[in-house]
Structure 1
Amino acid sequence: MEHRMHPADCHAVHRFDGRNGTVTAAREYAQQFLERCVPPLTAAVKGDALLVVSELVSNAVRHAPGPCTLALTDDRQRLTVTVSDTSAVTPVARLPDLVAGTGGFGWHLLHRLAQQVAVEVHASGGKSVTAVLSSRTA
C-alpha cells in the first residue's frame, strides 16, 4: 500500500489493493485524515465524508478489478473525496431495490451529501469519481 502526505496534512493520497478489507481500511485512513483537519471538522461533516468514502470505495471494489486510490483534500472550505479505479464504466443512477436488496442507493446518497459529484474517465483507462462536500458550516 502506498501512502503520501502533503504539506500541512491538507491533502492525502492512499492506494489500496482492492481486496477484501479495502473498504474498512479506506474508512480508517479517511477517519485519521479527518481528525487532523484544522480547524476541526464537525461530527456531521466527518460522518458525511465517511459515508462518501465508503460508497465510492465500495463501488470501486465491487465494479472495478484491482487497486483503487483514495485522495482526500481539505482546503478549509471544501472537503474533496476522489476515488480512482480501473473501470472506465461511469456510474448511473438506478432505482433503489427494496425487495431483492441489490442496492441502487449509493449514487442518490452521494448526490444528497455532496455539493458536487463528478466523474472523469481517463484516456489511459479507468476513472475517477469526485465528491465535494462543504467542510465548514457558515
Structure 2
Amino acid sequence: MTPTKPQPQRHLDLPADVSAAGRARDATYRFLSGIGDREHPVHPAAADAAALIVTELVTNAVRHTDGPCSLDLAVHEGLLDIDVTDTSSVSPVTRLPHLNGSGGWGWILVRHIAHDVSVMPTSAGGKRIHVSVAVAG
C-alpha cells in the first residue's frame, strides 16, 4: 500500500489588534505560493480571492470580538479550506453596506466568493467560520 501524501496545512495564532488581518493575508499568500508547482500553479486570481476572504474574516474577528483569533489553512482536492476561530459565539450577519466606507461588505464578499460557508460553535464558547475556495484549475 502506498502511503498518502500529507496535505499542506498552516496554523497561525493572531492577536486581537489591527496587525492581525495583514499578518493573516501575508501568511495566506506565502502558504499558497508554497503549494503550487510548475504543472499545477495556484492561479493569482484564486490566491487574491483567498487572501480577500482571510482578510475579511480576520478583520471581522478583531472588530467584533474581544479576544484573539486563529487562522487554519489546508489544501485538499484543489480546494483551500480556510478556518477562522474567534472568541465570540455570535454568528456573522449580513447587513446593508455603508457607502461611506464604514463597513458592511465583508460578510457579503465572503459568502459570494467562497464555497461551503459554515459557522460552528467551539467548545471554548467561540465560533469557527469555515469556507472553501477553489485554488486549482
Task: Give the 4+ runs in structure 1 shifted more than 3 A.
Answer: none
Question: TM-score, normalised on structure 1?
Answer: 0.87
Unaligned runs of at least 5 residues, structure 2: none
Q: How is 1:17-56 mapped onto 2 (pairs within 5 angstroms)?
A: 17-38=15-36, 39-56=40-57
Structure 1 runs not aligned, ≥5 long: 1-6
AA matched with 2:117: V
Counterpart of 1:91?
Answer: 92
Q: Which amino acid aligns with 1:94?
A: R
Root mean square deviation of aligned Cα: 1.6
Question: In 2, Cα distance between the equivalents of 1:88 and 1:65?
Answer: 11
Kept after mapping to 2: 8 A contact 1:120/1:128: yes
**Corresponding position of 1:73:** 74
Residues 76 and 135 of structure 1 are in contact (CA less than 8 Å); yes or no, is this contact kept in structure 2?
Answer: no
Q: Identity of paired residues, percent?
A: 35
In the other structure, the counterpart of 2:11 is 13
Greater RCO between the two (CA within 8 Å, min separation 6)? 2
CA contact (8 A) 2:72 2:84 kept: yes
Q: Based on CA coordinates, which of the two structures has the bigger radius of gyration? A: 2
- Alignment partners' CA distance in 1, 2:107 and 2:21: 17
List per-residue Cα deviations over 1:75-101 (Å, max 9, x = no partner): 1421111100000010011111114x3
